[in-house]
Amino acid sequence: MKLIIQARMTSSRLPKKVMLPLCTKSVLEVMLERLARFRDNIIVATTNDGSQTPITDLCKRLNINCFEGDVEDVLARYYLSAKHFGADATTTIIRCTSDCPCIDAQIIIKALELYAKSDAEYVCACQESGFARGIDTEIFSFALLEKAYHEATLPFEREHVTPYIKKNAVCALFHNTRDDSKYRLTLDEADDYKALVALHEKLGCTTEYSYDTLINILNKNPFIYEMNKHVEQKKDTN
């Protein structure tokens, strides 16, 4: 298994967002702590344009595998990072993006269980399956990733990693037990950051909390939801 997190410093709407502070840690470090049970399987797939030093320095400090690849061809970055760290046709790939510091390891585990027991070649826990935006997790095989790397030709497919896979695989959604899709727990714009800061203050700056705890806080503190409900999601890139 390889859990690959794409991360860059040059996001167009909020540059350097993955290194913004959430309490005493950066957004990316919070996310890595949230995924601690997958630590030995994590690869941070960053860019090779010279801007990535804060990301690579963090990975070195935390002893997290890191790969530097193409800025625009994120599909290649995923494939080459997985291959560099020993993935083969039998390896399961988990895709996450670094603007999701509230990512939930238990949801990933349950999505992996669905992937293992079903006929699906691609499983997603995402807004479309009833989760808040920012819990997004995609699961597929390295064999599918390799196929996409060699066969995907459209710029959109290269930039967003999984469109070719979703178009050419048996897909399934891991569904939430309720519809939380109105909530944004992701980081694209300044108002998203304000909401995440307020949320983490309510959490007492811990990184150990459940998804249900997050939703309960949002339900009890609607002012947090109001901060960024207007932000329109940009299509999958990081």
pLDDT in tens, 54-69: 999 999 999 999 999 9
What's the pTM? 0.96
State the residue range of the domain holding 150. 2-228
Is the pLDDT score of 233 beyond 80? no
Domain count within the chain? 1
Mean pLDDT of 22-48: 97
pLDDT of residue 234: 64
- CATH code for the domain of 153: 3.90.550.10
- Would you say residue 118 lies in a domain? yes
Segments in the chain forming alpha helices (H): 27-34, 53-62, 74-84, 105-117, 142-151, 155-160, 163-167, 190-202, 211-220, 222-228
Mean pLDDT of 89-97: 97
- Would you say residue 62 lies in a domain? yes
Mean pLDDT of 123-152: 97
